[in-house]
């Protein structure tokens, strides 16, 4: 089995519901970070995101995980109209133990993860070794709403 991390975000509709459905559909999930509400980065004017990082213990390759990400986004009826635009669900492969990929549709480790507090802070909760030495000069527009199970319970969702 291989240790891997996926980043999830949602800023449309039932944000927590989309995250919950995606996490529940991941059979290899071993941990979920706290839930963070963050300002959007890049793209057009849009609402705030809910973000989490999920740790998997999986036998899937980075390519297999990308296919899982795309299936989860399709299940959430994600529409890709504007790059970095609003979305029901965004799921990215962040890191897969022992794998480096540099292809047109997949780069692992994720090429911009160290530039984004909404990835590095929750990743650091689950894998301090992967966030070691990372510092963010500006975490404005960023707040931790609580642990996964607590936030799910407050929003009427059921934590896995």
Q: How far apart are CA 93 and CA 51, in angstroms?
A: 14
Catalytic center residues: 78, 87, 90, 92
Q: How far is CA 113 from CA 7, 59, 109, in A?
A: 9, 23, 8
81: tokens are 């109209």
Which residue's entry shows tokens 């911009």? 112
Whether residue 109 has a cis bond before it, omega within 30° of 0? yes
């Amino acid at each position: 089995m291989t240790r891997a991390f996926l980043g999830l975000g949602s800023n449309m509709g039932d944000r927590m519901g989309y995250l919950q459905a995606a996490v529940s559909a991941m059979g290899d999930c071993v941990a979920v970070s706290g839930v963070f509400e963050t300002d959007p980065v890049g793209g057009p004017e849009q609402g705030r995101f809910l973000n989490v990082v999920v740790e998997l213990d999986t036998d899937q390759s980075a390519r297999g995980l990308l296919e899982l990400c795309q299936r989860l986004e399709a299940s959430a009826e994600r529409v890709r109209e504007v790059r970095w635009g609003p979305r029901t669900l965004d799921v990215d492969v962040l890191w897969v133990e022992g794998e480096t990929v540099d292809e047109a549709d997949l780069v692992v480790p994720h090429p911009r993860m160290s530039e984004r507090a909404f990835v590095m802070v929750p990743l650091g909760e689950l894998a301090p070794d992967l966030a070691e030495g990372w510092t963010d000069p500006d975490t404005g527009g960023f707040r931790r709403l609580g642990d996964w199970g607590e936030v799910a319970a407050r929003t009427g969702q059921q934590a896995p």
